[in-house]
Chain A
Amino acid sequence: EAQVTQNPRYLITVTGKKLTVTCSQNMNHEYMSWYRQDPGLGLRQIYYSMNVEVTDKGDVPEGYKVSRKEKRNFPLILESPSPNQTSLYFCASSPDRGLGQPQHFGDGTRLSIL
């Protein structure tokens, strides 16, 4: 089954404790992206990757890091999480960034930073 898998689905942690949210897709998609979703603000892009070893900042990259060592994986790293990073996070992928290609979303990761 074609899917985007995120882990963990839920995490409660404390300020400053490094964490990684994994994202994996099995569709051989080139383009992957991370979003955060907050009430009233919609989906905002954190980072994206157009292919292996190619990553770039989205609209709200501060406090986050990503890597794309393999095509299928695109982990999101919070080196020193803070309470303002409490949010619902989605990973998404698409065949490329071109015309008419909808993004496939993972089920989301709800992070709470205390």
Chain B
Amino acid sequence: GQNIDQPTEMTATEGAIVQINCTYQTSGFNGLFWYQQHAGEAPTFLSYNVLDGLEEKGRFSSFLSRSKGYSYLLLKELQMKDSASYLCAVRDGAAGNKLTFGGGTRVLVKP
């Protein structure tokens, strides 16, 4: 099985940077996804990591360390519209590539 942990909630100021951590335990790691979900809406894909290192996409970056079972999502130059939940999801190659989601981190951006 898989165990995925991320903080429940974080607060940050507009224009600042926030780092959302995700730790996982899985028997057959085969990729990690980050999704954004605004309240009551569908999750939307942000980033994908399968190799160690940093993936950058505009204001959003995601980092992976497979040996530590650790990833983070970095949100820079925060905007009010970034207030949302951020979901970490891990794919387990030992379980037919099943995707398991963490509980999500709610980020509140304040003016």
Contacts and interface: CB of A to CB of B under 8 A. Distances in A.
Interface of A: 33, 35, 40-45, 58-59, 88, 90, 97-100, 102-108
Given A90-B42, A107-B42, A108-B41, A42 B102 contact: yes
Interface of B: 30-31, 33, 35, 40-45, 48, 50, 87, 89, 91, 96-104
Nearest to B6: A42
A42 B106 CA distance: 11
Contact of A102 (B30, B33, B50, B104): B33
A99 B28 CA distance: 13
Contacts of A106: 42
A40 B103 contact: yes
Nearest to A44: B101
B87 A42 contact: yes
B99 A99 contact: no
B32 to A, nearest CB: 11
A45 B2 CA distance: 13
Contacts of B40: 88, 108
A104 B99 CA distance: 13
A103 B99 contact: yes
A100 B103 contact: no
A61 B99 CA distance: 15
B87 A43 contact: yes
Nearest to B30: A99
A102 B102 contact: no
A100 B45 CA distance: 11
B31 A99 contact: yes
A60 to B, nearest CB: 12
Contacts of B44: 105
B98 A45 contact: yes
A90 B98 CA distance: 16
Given A41-B103, A42-B102, A43-B87, A98 B41 contact: no
Contacts of A58: 98
